[in-house]
């Protein structure tokens, strides 16, 4: 039989069991604490890793500082943080960024050289934990209770700034005490931050250089664009001016053409008037003569078998009275005269059409001789009866040209030649083939052109004629027209011995004279 344990035995067992439970609970709690610390360290390590990944994207020192201080708060579960940069020239630390402070109490203070030296930060300093007294400087007014300060250095070991984490007096109870256990991980964080800051500054330096160069290039580009704009503007102005000039030239050429035509109109009118007068007078006389013939025919129509003798006598008497044979001869002469008048008028009109060739301001092949001849027809009234025109034409090929414009050249030169001969004289027109070119020579026996005027003769508005008699553009325009044809115009003259205008024209355009 098993004996029941006594009360004392039971009490002893119970106390032993209770002691075991207590030990177990304590051990378990120690284990929980140890695991908690490991969790915190792991969490900080992860947080530092996350910080490194986050801060690498910072684009400004402000952003870098902001990411850093928020990461300090997150990693170390402190209430507030500040990022201070060291100004070597002024030997002060200034707050670049802060987080978790009231706006009214943030550490906007500068930490002076004395403070920095006292902390030994200029040389390799250590992480410091400080309890802040409310009336102490420089952090007393910030409401901080406890802070952890870590200096950081550049790659050459020069003091660069400090990182602060802290807890305020007001909220200290919510936060874990800042103890020395925090120092190793805070130091790791600061070192990591320092390395990232160096990378950031190197990157920023490079970025700055790139930006500077980009700015230079952009400036140059702007300048070039500005110059380009000026040039474009000038080009546009020049183009406009050119357009204006072309327009003016067209107007002047038209004016000159109209002036030339105006001068010619009187001559042409006279030229046409003469044959028209022949025709008009001839028609009147012919009408009278035909009336007389009609009277004779009327009598013939009245002849019958009964009155044939009587009517033939009337016819004979009438023929005698009107001079029938002379009338018939006169009719023939009048018809011939009308024919001549008509032919002459047709020639003039044809010459005028050939000259003007208004519908032919396009490049085409034309007969040079035809152009010269039509011009002469139009000028005929100016030179007839006093100037002999000698034509020494050779066998010319058809020339590729603007026929209407070439006729204007012939008109100018021949008109000047006619004007140059005061009284009687000769104009000799010669044509010849010179290789790929044709040569037209117009020689007048006029007074000639003095040496000093020969240089000006092709200048616009130069004229030796009286006011209102010439535009001074004839030869200038003629030269332009010949140049447009890739030809050239020359002048040979001696005072008192007449003048010779030589025109060289390529047979085909594209061949230079």
Does 179 engage in binding with other proteins (CB under 8 A)? no
Q: In this chain, which stretch among 30-38, 323-331, 470-478, 485-493 interacts with other proteins, using CB under 8 A?
A: 30-38
Closer CB to other proteins, residue 22 or residue 258? 22
Site string for other proteins, 87-116 (x = CB under 8 A): ------------xx----------------
What's the first-to-final CA gap in the chain, in angstroms? 152
Scan for tokens 């290039």, then name that residue: 217
Closest CA to 283 of 350, 338, 361: 338
Does 175 engage in binding with other proteins (CB under 8 A)? yes
Does 28 engage in binding with other proteins (CB under 8 A)? yes
Figure out which of the listed residues 174, 205, 300, 461 binds other proteins, where binding follows CB under 8 A.
174
Give the nearest distance from C-beta 48 to other proteins in angstroms: 15
Q: Output phi, psi for 396, to 5 deg.
A: -95, 145
Q: In this chain, which stretch among 28-36, 282-290, 379-387, 480-488 interacts with other proteins, using CB under 8 A?
A: 28-36
Give the nearest distance from C-beta 233 to other proteins in angstroms: 50
Cα–Cα distance between 122 and 160 in angstroms, integer? 9
Q: Output phi, psi for 155, to 5 deg.
A: -65, -20
Give the nearest distance from C-beta 13 to other proteins in angstroms: 10
Give the nearest distance from C-beta 182 to other proteins in angstroms: 14
Figure out which of the listed residues 9, 39, 59, 284 binds other proteins, where binding follows CB under 8 A.
39
Closer CB to other proteins, residue 45 or residue 458? 45
Nearest-Å Rg of the Cα atoms of the chain is 60
Task: Confirm if 296 and 318 have CB atoms less than 8 A apart.
Answer: yes
HEC string for 434-445: ECCEEEEEEEEC
Closest CA to 154 of 88, 122, 198, 203: 198
Give the nearest distance from C-beta 73 to other proteins in angstroms: 5
Question: What would the two tokens of residue 343 be?
Answer: 């032919």
Does 170 engage in binding with other proteins (CB under 8 A)? no
Closest CA to 160 of 51, 67, 61: 61
Figure out which of the listed residues 9, 12, 14, 207 binds other proteins, where binding follows CB under 8 A.
14
Figure out which of the listed residues 42, 195, 248, 363 binds other proteins, where binding follows CB under 8 A.
42
3-state secondary structure of 294: helix
Question: What would the two tokens of residue 165 be?
Answer: 């984490």
Give the nearest distance from C-beta 54 to other proteins in angstroms: 11
Q: Is the peptide bond before 369 cis (omega within 30 degrees of 0)?
A: no
Q: What is the four-CA torsion angle of 301, 307, 312, 315, rounded to 10 degrees?
A: -50
Give the nearest distance from C-beta 20 to other proteins in angstroms: 11
Question: What would the two tokens of residue 13 be?
Answer: 């067992």
Does 27 engage in binding with other proteins (CB under 8 A)? no
Scan for tokens 């490049």, then name that residue: 363
Does 21 engage in binding with other proteins (CB under 8 A)? yes
Could you say which residues in the range 43-82 bind other proteins, by CB under 8 A? 43, 70, 73-74, 77, 79
Number of residues that this document lists for the chain: 513
Locate all alpha helices (DSSP H) within 303-323, ordered by sequence: 308-322
Does 29 engage in binding with other proteins (CB under 8 A)? yes
Cα–Cα distance between 413 and 407 in angstroms, integer? 10
Give the nearest distance from C-beta 78 to other proteins in angstroms: 9
Q: In this chain, which stretch among 154-162, 172-180, 258-266, 414-422 interacts with other proteins, using CB under 8 A?
A: 172-180
Closer CB to other proteins, residue 49 or residue 398? 49
Does 18 engage in binding with other proteins (CB under 8 A)? yes
Figure out which of the listed residues 11, 16, 35, 484 binds other proteins, where binding follows CB under 8 A.
35
Closer CB to other proteins, residue 99 or residue 402? 99
Figure out which of the listed residues 89, 173, 358, 362 binds other proteins, where binding follows CB under 8 A.
173
Q: In this chain, which stretch among 109-117, 173-181, 374-382, 422-430 interacts with other proteins, using CB under 8 A?
A: 173-181
Closest CA to 150 of 138, 137, 165: 165
Could you say which residues in the range 442-501 bind other proteins, by CB under 8 A? none
The residues facing 377 across adjacent strands are: none
Residue 241 to residues 245, 253, 460, 479, Cα–Cα distance (Å): 6, 17, 18, 21
Task: Confirm if 194 and 157 have CB atoms less than 8 A apart.
Answer: no
Does 20 engage in binding with other proteins (CB under 8 A)? no
State the CB neighbour count (10 A cutoff) for residue 387: 21
# binding residues, other proteins (CB under 8 A)? 28
Binding site for other proteins (CB under 8 A): 14, 17-19, 21-22, 24-26, 28-29, 32, 35-36, 38-39, 42-43, 70, 73-74, 77, 79, 99-100, 173-175
């Amino acid at each position: 039989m098993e004996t029941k344990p006594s009360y004392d035995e039971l009490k002893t067992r119970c106390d032993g069991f209770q002691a075991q439970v207590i030990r177990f609970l304590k051990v378990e709690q120690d284990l929980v604490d140890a695991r908690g610390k490991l969790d915190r360290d792991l969490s900080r390590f992860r947080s530092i890793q996350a910080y490194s990944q986050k801060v690498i994207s910072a684009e400004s020192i402000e952003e870098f500082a902001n990411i850093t201080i928020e990461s300090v708060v997150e990693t170390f579960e402190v209430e507030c943080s500040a990022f201070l940069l060291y100004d070597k020239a002024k030997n002060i630390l200034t707050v670049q960024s802060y987080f978790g402070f009231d706006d009214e109490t943030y550490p906007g203070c500068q930490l002076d050289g004395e403070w920095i030296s006292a902390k030994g930060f200029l040389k390799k300093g250590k992480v410091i934990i400080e309890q802040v007294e409310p009336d102490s400087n420089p952090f007393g007014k910030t409401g901080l209770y406890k802070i952890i300060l870590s200096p950081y250095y550049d790659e050459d070991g020069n003091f660069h700034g400090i990182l602060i984490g802290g807890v305020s007096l007001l909220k200290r109870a919510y936060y874990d005490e800042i103890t020395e256990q925090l120092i190793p991980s805070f130091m790791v964080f600061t070192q990591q931050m320092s390395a990232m800051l160096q990378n950031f500054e190197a990157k920023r330096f490079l970025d700055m250089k790139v930006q500077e160069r980009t700015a230079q290039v952009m400036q140059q580009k702007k300048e070039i664009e500005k110059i380009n704009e000026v040039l474009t503007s000038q080009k546009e102005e020049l183009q406009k001016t050119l357009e204006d000039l072309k327009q003016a030239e067209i107007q002047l050429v038209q004016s000159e053409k109209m002036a030339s035509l105006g001068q010619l109109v009187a001559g042409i009118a006279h030229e046409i008037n003469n044959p028209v007068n022949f025709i008009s007078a001839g028609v009147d006389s012919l009408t009278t003569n035909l009336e007389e013939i009609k009277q004779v025919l009327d009598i013939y129509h009245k002849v019958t078998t009964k009155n044939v003798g009587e009517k033939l006598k009337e016819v004979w008497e009438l023929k005698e009275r009107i001079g029938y044979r002379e009338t018939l001869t006169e009719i023939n002469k009048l018809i011939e005269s009308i024919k001549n008048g008509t032919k002459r008028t047709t020639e003039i009109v044809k010459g005028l059409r050939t000259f003007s060739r208004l519908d032919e301001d396009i490049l085409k092949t034309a007969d040079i001789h035809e152009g010269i001849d039509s011009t002469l027809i139009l000028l005929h009234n100016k030179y007839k009866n006093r100037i002999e025109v000698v034509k020494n034409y050779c066998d010319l090929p058809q020339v590729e040209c603007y026929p209407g414009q070439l006729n204007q050249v012939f008109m100018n030169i021949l008109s000047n030649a006619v004007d140059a001969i005061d009284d009687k004289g000769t104009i000799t027109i010669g044509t010849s083939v010179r290789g790929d070119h044709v040569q037209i020579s117009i020689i007048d026996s006029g007074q000639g052109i003095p040496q000093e005027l020969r240089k000006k003769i092709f200048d616009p508005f130069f004229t030796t004629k009286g006011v209102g008699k010439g535009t001074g553009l004839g030869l200038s325009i003629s030269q332009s027209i010949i140049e447009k044809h890739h030809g050239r115009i020359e002048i040979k003259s001696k005072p008192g011995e007449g003048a010779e205008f030589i025109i060289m024209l390529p047979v085909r355009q594209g061949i230079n004279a």
